[in-house]
């Protein structure tokens, strides 16, 4: 077998094994109940919730005393045919849920600041985690001035990190089974939104 | 050459291979980082560096695997093609594989199993149950303690408004102190809604905790209308702090908060936290069970694979180390077998293979030296052979030039040498060589030679000679045969040499010389009295002329006439004798034989119309040094004889031919007739003086021809013409040629 053929085969194998897109993960989680509102400062507010975050892995992680960190991306993009879509605005939110095993209580903390919220039960804690309300994305006058825009939302659980940098060695061992696909919501051209 | 070609291929492929591997490595690293690295939340460079190192190891492992598989494939192909050393290489590689794979696999499987079982044993249900129960106990204890402080805080919060407090601070503090002492509380603090500390009471039996303020989370919760409890680690000790809101009785608003600090003796809180931490670590470890297993088993697997690959590679290396020199030896052997003795093996090895290679090189050197010696010997032998051949050719040349015939035979009588003179003399060809002389020689000669050999055998001599006369080739020849026995240094008989001297011409010459002497004497003795006789006869005629008129004178006239006529005849005869005895000396000049033949033949054609003259002249005949007049005379004599021989013959035909033999450098002139021919006796004496077969012939014509030809160092012979007649052959050598 020639050298070039061997290399080509190795590349093909490599792309089959490693270059598969990250869409092959669990699709249980999803973004639901997207709601657009007008903010007090004439900005676009977004409410949504994440369904399907109650997984075995999340529960095990919480039970082991480790925090569960959710990241939410809220983007406004201008779609383009050839070029990559232009990101007009982007907001990133991080929510951390942790369990105090001694007290047997949960606490939801937003990393953007603000008081943590003690929650007595797991279900209530997960609901608090999965509900995002009043995210200010961009000023309303931008709508319509930049052409058709699309709101894209995605949520994912931060990968559970192994100690001693083992996560690098076992990068293929995934403890991260909560990830939503990007949910697209076309934005209206006129800023006639209900407050 | 093969190694150089392989190195060249590697050099050409090297950049391509390295570039491909580098691109693969970069692609792999970036893809992994895209898939996994971003989610680790670590720094970009750190993630890239770690993935790069991991991938480098993976690629090196893959490269090792590829090289091993490639070598194995190559070995399989070599075996299929039957390359020398492939079987031995296979055996060695398989042996190494068997010696390493089996123990390594066993060791790996055993170790991996042991590790897996050990790690599984850490996570047994009993351990988890115990830890969970310990946590439950800790939770229960904490819950009880929390409930206790909250209970007292709640009680006090409810009691204070009932007691009309906090209007009366002194009364409130006394109440708080009595409750603190009574309920074993560490401290009780009352805080207003604005966060002002209204009263603090500490139990003297316990250490004093840090005072609760408005910034305390429990206080904030309580002022917000919610009961809250929390742990407090202070320099004085560990406390469980509970806070309860003091409700305004009427409006349902929070008036303030009561904070109760329950002292936790000793290391109670540490133990609670240890229990919790133990359980959490256990749970985390449980989550990490698979990666931990993998982190132990993966290096083991890598080491095992490394050992296997290394063993395989070492097997190949060792096999190459053994089969390489063997292959080189085999190729070298083929080259040496092909005659390339200058080839030297260049295999650096300090072991027995090296010794073998050294021996091989020594052997080729010895062979080269032997070959050189053999070549020298061959050259010497060749030179000796050439010398011998030269000598043989020289001997043959000598023998060929020798007028005497030389015939040699080995001890068995088989003919080994026969020179040209002997072949011509004995009338045989080269086919007699290698045959017994009894079969090869003419019976007449064989009988003579056999007789001589017998005589020689009976005598004690080694040499003997006899003169014999024998019929050879249709001619009677006088031969002097000289026989000599050849012996080596030891006296052993090697063979016999017979030398034949043809004395025929010598005998003839002697006879001719004798006749010339006789003729000279006769001419001298007879010529003298002839003139007086003739003169006397003429005188008698003149004196007695008158008598001649008478009848008596008739006798006289007839007698005198007869005497004069006979004397004239005698004079002619004597003149012939004189001419024979005293041939004029030849004056050689460059002569064209063809022209001479044309001139002489031209004289005869018109005179003898009934005879067909067929003159065929060889083109480009060399010019001879000859006396034209004498040659013409010889030709005239031969043509006279031919014409005489054809007298009374119908369809008479005379051929006159010229030719040239380049090998002998001899010009031939042939005069042939289709007359009755000669009998053997006549042919033998043909060239003797006074021998004639013609009526009225003097018998001197052919003697003169022979004499003229002899003066020109030539040779004349008469042979039978086919189908009939006689053929005279004159052979005249070119100048400078020894006949």
Residue A182 forms contact with B (CB below 8 Å): no
Task: For residue A161, give the nearest of B24, B40, B139 by CB distance.
Answer: B40
Residue B121 structure tokens? 């044993």
From chain B, pick out residues whose CB is under 8 angstroms from the CB of A3: 13, 16-17, 20
Closest alpha carbon within chain A to B20 = A7
pLDDT over 90 (residue A158)? no
Query: Over chain B (739 residues), what is each successive 10-residue block's mean pLDDT?
Result: 49 68 73 57 62 71 78 84 79 81 86 85 80 88 88 85 66 76 84 84 80 81 86 81 83 83 82 87 76 77 79 78 76 82 73 78 85 85 83 77 83 86 80 84 78 80 78 74 85 85 75 72 73 82 75 77 85 73 72 90 83 90 88 88 85 92 91 87 77 70 85 88 90 81
From chain A, pick out residues whose CB is under 8 angstroms from the CB of B276: 65, 101-102
- Sheet (strand B612-616) strand order: B612-616, B653-661, B666-673, B726-733, B715-720
If pLDDT is split at 50, 70 and 90, which confidence band does A23 have? very low
Residue A163 forms contact with B (CB below 8 Å): yes
Q: What is the pLDDT of residues B339-374, one digit of tens each?
A: 887 877 776 667 777 787 788 888 888 888 888 888
Contact check, Cβ <8 Å, B51/A168: yes
Percentage of residues in chain A having pLDDT higher than 90: 7
Most confident listed range (A132-136, A139-143, B247-251, B466-470): A132-136
Residue A106 structure tokens? 């949960």
If pLDDT is split at 50, 70 and 90, which confidence band does A27 have? very low
> Which distant-in-sequence residues (6+ apart) come within 8 Å of B715 by Cβ?
B709, B730, B731, B739
**Nearest Cα residue to B733 out of B668, B684, B682, B686:** B668
Q: What is the pLDDT of residue B165?
A: 60
Q: How far is CA B516 from CA A71, B519, B523, in A?
A: 157, 5, 10
**Nearest Cα residue to B591 out of B638, B639, B637, B629:** B629
Q: Work out the minimum CA distance from B275 to partner chain A, whole angstroms.
A: 9
Contact check, Cβ <8 Å, A3/B24: no
From chain B, pick out residues whose CB is under 8 angstroms from the CB of A23: none
Angle at B706 between CA B700 and CA B708, to 5 degrees: 100
**Nearest Cα residue to B563 out of B603, B535, B605, B591:** B535
Residue B453 structure tokens? 């050999």
Closest alpha carbon within chain B to A11 = B24
Closest alpha carbon within chain B to A102 = B139
Residue B13 forms contact with A (CB below 8 Å): yes
Q: Work out the minimum CA distance from A11 to partner chain B, whole angstroms.
A: 7
Task: For residue A65, give the nearest of B24, B37, B280 by CB distance.
Answer: B280
CA distance B459 to B599: 61
**Which candidate in A102, A114, A173 is best for mutational testing of the B interface (most B CBs within 10 A)?**
A102
Pairing of strands B405-410, B493-502: antiparallel
Q: Work out the minimum CA distance from A92 to partner chain B, whole angstroms.
A: 14
Residue B373 structure tokens? 């010696």
Closest alpha carbon within chain A to B230 = A103
Q: What is the pLDDT of residues B394-442, one digit of tens each?
A: 777 777 777 788 888 888 888 888 888 888 877 788 888 888 888 877 7
Task: For residue A166, give the nearest of B24, B32, B291 by CB distance.
Answer: B291
Closest alpha carbon within chain A to B22 = A7
Q: How far is CA B509 from CA B175, B301, B513, B687, B707, in A?
A: 192, 122, 6, 10, 9
Q: Work out the minimum CA distance from A168 to partner chain B, whole angstroms.
A: 7
CA distance B275 to B135: 6
Closest alpha carbon within chain A to B128 = A64
Residue A4 forms contact with B (CB below 8 Å): yes
Closest alpha carbon within chain B to A170 = B291
**Which candidate in B143, B288, B295 is best for mutational testing of the A interface (most A CBs within 10 A)?**
B288
Q: What is the pLDDT of residue B40?
A: 47
Q: Is A162 helix (H, G, I), strand (E, B) or coil?
A: coil
From chain B, pick out residues whose CB is under 8 angstroms from the CB of A163: 288
* Bridge partner residues of B332 (DSSP): none
- How big, in percent rounded to 5, are the helix, strand and coil portions of chain B? 60, 15, 20
Q: What is the pLDDT of residue A176?
A: 53
Does residue B15 or residue A121 have the better pLDDT? A121
Within the 104-123 window of chain A, which residues sit less than 8 Å (CB to CB) from chain B? Answer: 104
Sign (positive or negative) of CA dihedral B331, B336, B340, B344: positive
Task: For residue B32, give the nearest of A63, A161, A171 by CB distance.
Answer: A171
> Quick one: which H or E segment has residue B212?
none
**Nearest Cα residue to A106 out of A148, A139, A59:** A59
pLDDT over 70 (residue A91)? yes
What are the backbone dihedrals phi and psi of residue B653, each rounded to the nearest 5 degrees, phi first? -145, 130
Contact check, Cβ <8 Å, B291/A6: no
Buried b / exposed e over A149-172, threshold 16 CB at 10 Å, is bbbbbbbbbbbbbbeeebbbbbbe
pLDDT over 80 (residue A97)? yes
Task: For residue B32, give the nearest of A18, A104, A163 by CB distance.
Answer: A18
pLDDT over 60 (residue A151)? yes
> Quick one: which H or E segment has residue B607?
helix B593-607
Q: Are B246 and B155 in contact (CB under 8 A)?
A: no
Residue B590 forms contact with A (CB below 8 Å): no
Sign (positive or negative) of CA dihedral A79, A82, A84, A89: negative
Whether the ω angle into residue B723 lies within 30 degrees of 0, i.e. cis, is yes
Residue A80 forms contact with B (CB below 8 Å): no
**Nearest Cα residue to A150 out of A86, A76, A80, A91:** A76
Q: What is the pLDDT of residue B251?
A: 60
Q: What is the pLDDT of residues B701-724, one digit of tens each?
A: 888 888 888 888 888 988 888 888
Q: Between A and B, how many residue pairs show a Cβ–Cβ distance under 8 A? A: 102
From chain B, pick out residues whose CB is under 8 angstroms from the CB of A103: 139, 142, 146
Q: How many CA atoms lie within 13 A of B554 on its CB side?
A: 3
**Nearest Cα residue to B62 out of A33, A107, A14:** A14
**Nearest Cα residue to B194 out of B249, B252, B254, B247:** B254
CA distance B380 to B101: 66
CA distance B406 to B421: 7
Residue B381 forms contact with A (CB below 8 Å): no
Closest alpha carbon within chain A to B10 = A3
Q: What is the pLDDT of residue B33?
A: 63
Contact check, Cβ <8 Å, B20/A101: no
Q: How many CA atoms lie within 13 A of A194 on its CB side?
A: 3
Average pLDDT taken over every residue of chain A: 76
Q: Work out the minimum CA distance from B243 to partner chain A, whole angstroms.
A: 15
CA distance B71 to B314: 12
CA distance B143 to A102: 9
Residue B98 forms contact with A (CB below 8 Å): no
**Nearest Cα residue to B226 out of B198, B254, B189, B195:** B254
Q: Minimum mean pLDDT among A7-16, A26-35, A152-161, B538-547: which range? A: A7-16
The alpha-carbon radius of gyration of chain B (Å, integer) is 74
Q: Are A181 and A154 in contact (CB under 8 A)?
A: yes
Task: For residue B291, give the nearest of A101, A102, A162 by CB distance.
Answer: A162
Number of H helices, E strands in chain B: 20, 17
Pairing of strands A68-78, A86-100: antiparallel
Beta strands in B139-281 (DSSP E): 187-192, 197-202, 228-234, 237-247, 254-264
pTM of the entire predicted model: 0.46
pLDDT over 70 (residue A161)? no
Buried b / exposed e over B346-374, threshold 16 CB at 10 Å, is ebeeeeebeebbeebbeebeeebeeeeee
Q: Work out the minimum CA distance from A108 to partner chain B, whole angstroms.
A: 15
Q: What is the pLDDT of residue B68?
A: 77
Residue B434 structure tokens? 């290698």
Q: What is the pLDDT of residue A26?
A: 43
Residue B290 forms contact with A (CB below 8 Å): yes
**Nearest Cα residue to A74 out of A126, A138, A30:** A138
Q: What is the pLDDT of residues B199-247, one digit of tens each?
A: 888 888 887 777 777 788 888 888 888 888 888 877 777 888 899 998 8
């Amino acid at each position: 077998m020639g050298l070039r053929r061997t290399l080509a085969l190795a590349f093909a194998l490599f792309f089959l094994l490693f270059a598969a897109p990250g869409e092959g993960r669990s699709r249980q989680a999803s973004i639901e109940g997207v709601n657009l509102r007008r903010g007090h400062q004439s900005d676009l507010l977004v409410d949504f919730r994440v369904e399907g975050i109650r997984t075995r892995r999340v529960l095990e992680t919480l039970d082991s005393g480790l925090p569960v960190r959710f990241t939410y991306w809220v983007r406004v993009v201008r779609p383009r045919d050839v070029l990559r879509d232009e990101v007009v605005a982007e907001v990133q939110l991080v929510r951390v849920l942790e369990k105090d095993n001694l007290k047997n209580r949960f606490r939801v903390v937003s990393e953007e600041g603000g008081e943590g919220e003690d929650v007595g039960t797991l279900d209530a804690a997960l609901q608090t985690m999965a509900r995002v309300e009043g995210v200010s994305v961009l000023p309303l006058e931008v709508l319509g001035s930049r052409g058709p825009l699309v709101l894209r939302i995605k949520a994912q659980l931060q990968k559970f990190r192994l100690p001693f940098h083992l996560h690098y060695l076992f990068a293929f061992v995934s403890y991260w089974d909560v990830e939503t696909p990007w949910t697209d919501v076309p934005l209206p051209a006129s800023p006639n939104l209900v407050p | 050459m093969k190694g150089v070609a392989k190195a060249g291929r590697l050099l050409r492929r090297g950049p391509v291979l390295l570039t491909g591997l580098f691109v693969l490595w970069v692609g792999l690293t970036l893809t992994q980082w895209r898939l996994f690295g971003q989610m680790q939340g670590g720094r970009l460079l750190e993630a890239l560096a770690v993935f790069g190192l991991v991938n480098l190891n993976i690629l090196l492992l893959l490269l090792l695997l590829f090289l091993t598989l490639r070598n194995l494939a190559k070995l399989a192909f070599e075996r299929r093609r039957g390359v020398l050393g492939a079987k031995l290489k296979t055996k060695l590689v398989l042996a190494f594989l068997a010696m390493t794979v089996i123990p390594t696999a066993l060791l790996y499987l055993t170790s991996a199993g042991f590790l897996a079982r050990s790690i599984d044993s850490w996570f047994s249900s009993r351990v988890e149950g115990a830890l969970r129960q310990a946590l439950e106990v800790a939770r229960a204890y904490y819950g009880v303690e929390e409930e206790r402080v909250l209970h007292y805080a709640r009680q006090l919060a409810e009691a204070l408004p009932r007691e009309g407090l906090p209007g009366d601070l002194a009364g409130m503090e006394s109440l708080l102190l009595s409750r603190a002492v009574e309920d074993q509380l560490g401290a009780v603090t009352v805080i207003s809604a604005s966060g002002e500390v209204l009263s603090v009471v500490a139990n003297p039996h316990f250490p004093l905790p840090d005072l609760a303020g408005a910034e305390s989370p429990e206080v904030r919760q309580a002022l917000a209308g919610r009961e809250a409890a929390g742990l407090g680690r202070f320099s004085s000790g560990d406390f469980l702090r509970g806070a309860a809101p003091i409700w305004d009785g009427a409006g349902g608003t929070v008036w303030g908060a009561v904070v109760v600090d329950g002292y936790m003796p000793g290391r109670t809180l540490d133990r609670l936290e240890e229990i919790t931490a133990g359980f959490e670590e256990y749970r985390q470890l449980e989550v990490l069970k698979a990666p931990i297993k993998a982190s132990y088993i993966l290096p083991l697997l890598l080491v095992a694979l490394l050992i296997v690959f290394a063993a395989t590679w070492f097997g190949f290396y060792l096999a190459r180390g053994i089969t390489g020199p063997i292959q080189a030896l085999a190729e070298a052997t083929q080259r040496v077998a092909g005659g390339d003795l200058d080839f030297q093996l260049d295999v650096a090895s300090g072991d027995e293979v090296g010794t073998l290679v050294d021996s091989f090189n020594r052997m080729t050197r010895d062979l080269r030296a032997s070959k050189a010696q053999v070549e020298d010997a061959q050259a010497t032998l060749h030179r000796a052979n050439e010398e011998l051949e030269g000598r043989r050719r020289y001997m043959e040349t000598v023998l060929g030039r020798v007028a005497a015939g030389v015939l040699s035979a080995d001890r068995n009588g088989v003919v080994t040498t026969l020179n040209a003179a002997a072949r011509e003399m004995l009338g045989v060809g080269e086919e007699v060589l290698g045959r017994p002389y009894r079969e090869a020689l003419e019976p007449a000669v064989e009988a003579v030679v056999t007789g001589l050999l017998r005589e020689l055998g009976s005598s004690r001599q080694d040499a003997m000679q006899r003169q014999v006369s024998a019929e050879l080739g249709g001619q009677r020849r006088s031969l002097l045969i000289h026989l000599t026995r050849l012996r080596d240094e030891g006296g052993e008989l090697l063979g016999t040499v017979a030398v034949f001297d043809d004395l025929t011409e010598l005998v003839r010459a002697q006879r001719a010389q004798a006749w010339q002497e006789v003729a000279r004497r006769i001419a001298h003795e007879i010529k003298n009295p002839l003139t007086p006789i003739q003169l006397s006869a003429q005188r008698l005629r003149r004196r007695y002329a008158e008598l001649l008129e008478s009848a008596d004178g008739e006798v006289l006239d007839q007698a005198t006439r007869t005497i004069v006529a006979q004397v004239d005849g005698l004079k002619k005869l004597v003149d012939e004798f004189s001419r024979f005895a005293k041939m004029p000396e030849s004056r050689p000049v460059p002569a064209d034989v063809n022209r001479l033949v044309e001139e002489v033949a031209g004289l005869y054609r018109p005179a003898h119309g009934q005879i067909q003259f067929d003159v065929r002249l060889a083109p480009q005949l060399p010019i001879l040094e000859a006396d034209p007049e004498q040659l013409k005379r010889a030709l005239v004599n031969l043509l006279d004889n031919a014409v005489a021989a054809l007298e009374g013959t119908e369809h008479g035909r005379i051929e006159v031919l010229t030719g040239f033999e380049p090998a002998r450098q001899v010009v031939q002139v042939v005069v042939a007739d289709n007359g009755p021919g000669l009998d053997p006796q006549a042919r033998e004496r043909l060239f003797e003086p006074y021998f004639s077969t013609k009526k009225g012939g003097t018998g001197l014509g052919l003697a003169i021809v022979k004499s003229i030809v002899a003066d020109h160092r030539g040779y004349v012979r008469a042979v039978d013409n086919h189908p009939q007649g006689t053929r005279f052959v004159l052979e005249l050598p070119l100048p400078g040629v020894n006949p």
